[in-house]
């Protein structure tokens, strides 16, 4: 994502890159990319956030960039929808199912595709469209709906 951010900035992008969370898979290669990044001063590591602090940072964001290789569900996508923030996510594993048509989907291995999605999301019409689709999509992921689906599964299991 650091390399995609460099491409985004080189193509005229102006947003800072704020990274929330711990440096879980940080290694020498990533450190080298970061240390030699031409826009290093615009990359901010703010650590792990929870609750209201996470919601405030997310809600103030131009977009959520969540282009991982594997996720079991993708809760940050739903959190971004709830905060009315456009989402850029992977076209792999569970992310397309969670995002539906409310996000820009990218190949997590294609830096150019990720950088272009970062640029596209600054278009006001596209932003509004994604936010509105996200508002609709988030309604599918409520505790009430989850409990109803769980109860249906229990009933089907008991019936068999």
pLDDT value, residue 86: 98
List domains and CATH numbers for the chain.
2-159 (3.40.50.2000)
Averaged pLDDT for residues 45-53: 94
Number of helices (H), then strands (E), belonging to the chain: the values are 8, 5
- DSSP H or E segment with residue 5: helix 2-10
- Is pLDDT of 158 > 90? no
Closest to 91 (Cα-Cα) out of 71, 76, 115 = 71
Task: For residues 47-68, give the mean pLDDT.
Answer: 95
**pLDDT higher than 90, residue 91:** yes
* Best CA proximity match to 33, nearest among 127, 111, 119, 90: 111
List, for residues 126-146, the tens digit of each pLDDT value: 999 999 999 999 999 887 877
Contacts of 37 (CB under 8 A, 6+ apart): 2, 5, 6, 43
94 pLDDT higher than 90: yes
Compute the average pLDDT of residues 93-110.
96
Which candidate, 88, 137, 118, places its Cα nearest to that of 10?
118
């Amino acid at each position: 994502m650091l390399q995609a951010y460099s491409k985004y900035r080189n193509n005229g992008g102006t947003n800072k890159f704020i990274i929330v969370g711990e440096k879980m898979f940080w290694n020498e290669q990533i450190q080298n990319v970061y240390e030699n990044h031409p826009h290093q001063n615009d990359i901010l590591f703010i650590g792990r956030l929870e609750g209201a602090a996470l919601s405030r940072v997310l809600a103030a964001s131009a977009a959520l960039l969540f282009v991982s290789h594997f996720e079991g569900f993708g809760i940050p996508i739903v959190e971004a929808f709830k905060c009315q923030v456009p989402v850029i996510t992977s076209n792999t594993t569970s992310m397309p199912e969670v995002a539906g048509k409310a996000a820009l989907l990218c190949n997590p291995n294609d830096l150019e595709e990720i950088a272009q999605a970062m640029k596209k999301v600054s278009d006001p019409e596209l932003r509004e469209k994604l936010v509105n689709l996200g508002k609709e999509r988030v309604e599918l992921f409520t505790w009430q709906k989850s409990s109803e689906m769980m109860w249906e599964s229990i009933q089907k299991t008991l019936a068999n």
